[in-house]
Structure 1
Amino acid sequence: MSAREELTPGQRALLTDQLGDAKPATSGLLMSFGQSIRDRRDHEHPTWEDLFCHNLSSWMGERAAPVLRRLLDAETEIDRLRDELADRLHPYTYTDAHNHRLTLDTVLDGLLRPYVWVEAENLAAGGAVATVWLTPGQAADLDQALRDRRTAAFTDHTGDKLTVTPEDGYTTFEVTNVAEDEGETPVVVRVVTLASRVRELRNTFAALAERAQQRAADAETTRDADAPCPHDAACGSDHDLDEADMFGWFRLTVGGLDDGPRWYCSPGCVNAAMQRAGQDLALADQAAAVDPGQQTPDRWPPNGGHDPLCSYAGGIGPDCTCGPDTTAHATVSPTPHPDATAYDTSHATSPEGTRQ
């Protein structure tokens, strides 16, 4: 069985325009359609012109618009529920009877490529932690493998591996991190999920894969700096949040403002926050100075002190590409992985960071 092919946003818009003001089909109409299909299939077809089939086809064709409208509305509702599920299960966690925890979330690397982040952790004291980064395509293949109840293995670009093995009554998720140095042994953590939770996991992988792609698209799009984050209500929060729960996020501190550090979920949101901060500090400069020429030099410069083409200031990547004469007035810290021995914290948001 192949995966369901969904309409693209452009196809939905075109189909909506083509259907005009057609109302969704009633249940009675759908039942009549089913009966007409059966009648066309089962009746005795003559060797000459089949008027019976022609009449049924004409009747169904005249009523196809309401049927398509109902299907279109149903697919739109599925997308809405999937977004709602992603919001509710962000991040998703499951702990098995052996006190091993599976965590799923979305993350972007330094080049704004989207991934579904999978972590398996032994919660015992000193327990091992293993992670793997799945592309949206791999997450979709995993969804299909869970649907088909077949063993599947996925390897990310670093060589780390996720193996899913279905058994009677349960499914095992095994995450393997390759040894970094000669003489070391790979880190392997297994999480056993009950068969009753597989459907929930399938829906979560699908929702997070779509969410990761949306985050990547947003990071590459110049949006209104004052618009709220389209991904997470916690984005921009100044609360004292646990760093272990904020993996893949950024903490931004702006010099000259007294509101302290804030959390942002993507490079695009960091860039928008820096634009807002620049506007606020420029207004403060104008209000404080009698003459624009008397503004103190330690105030906020354009682009936060970065070159106009700086990759960091433009939200393109995590590293500053300014020249030696520029001075930025902002500090952005990517959230380190909860296991400080497993990740180089300077690359916490990038799967290309070197693990130690």
Structure 2
Amino acid sequence: MPVAALGALTDHKMTQSAIYSRVVGTGSYLPARRVTNQQLADELATRGIETSDEWIVARTGIKARHFAAPDQTSSDMAVEAAKRALDMAGLNADQLDLILVATSTPDFVFPSTACLVQHKLGIKNGCAAFDIQAVCSGFAYAMATADNFIRSGAYRNALVIGAETFSRILDFNDRTTCVLFGDGAGAVVLQASSEPGVLSTALHADGSYANILCVPGNVNAGAVQGAAFLYMDGQAVFKLAVKVLEKVATEALEKAGLASSAIDWLIPHQANLRIMSSTARKLGLSEEKMVVTVDQHGNTSAASIPLALDVAVRDGRIKPGQNVMIEGVGGGFTWGAVLFRM
């Protein structure tokens, strides 16, 4: 057989046996305590900190957020979101091969939150489990990682979670940050498939921007060395986010060979409505194609994208066969996008 023909045959076989990953289940969880802007403003007033519902909405689009109970951890919320995603997928927890948890607020320094989730789900099959720390773009990083594991043939069923208790690292004497964040968890189940699901991914980082969004503390000799509260240079973050989000979304589209008009739904990291709207405009998308939950959830960091995804799946907006673009930017600085077909 000619070499050219042999090559063509090999390519055909590879195409026929290609492995993709598809989203087969979504789930989310929000803590019971919902705090409106007015309630938060009233609490801050007792500390001598002035803010208002109007001030917060005008700058961020946020109207409310949820805070975890004092004894509620990131792994607790992750488990609840995971159960709902598994139920939608029609899978038992012991059918999982891989658990990834994107979080910046783990239960402990170690073990990983993913290992705690594995235990709380009652999984005894020894599946791989680890955390991913990319802050607000963590879910995009985790989903891309799971997709590559599945495409390689290493795993078949992956549970990907974003879970955060950001209320634990907020300085409630700083109105520029404490009004922005909330707690929650979201999850998806990715499963191996012969049909394309995840179409493309794009991930980036630049550590030279570490100082504009960080929690600059660590544990040393039994105490916190440095600051244990979140610090953010809001203007610097805004400028960088607007620039990189359009670029990474465009990169993901180019990798998939699609135009932005092919996006049925855009789910940006839910940080700030102005940043989100700017990204949609630059991609030529109407805001009707953008899923928005930041008004009710606040910024839940790595949990924000899967939370918004689950809301839109369950209310019927996102339907099978539609193309969804998720994208996020977070401390590190990290940014990433994933384009997938439901």
Higher strand share: 2
TM-score, scaled to structure 1: 0.22
Higher CA-based Rg? 1
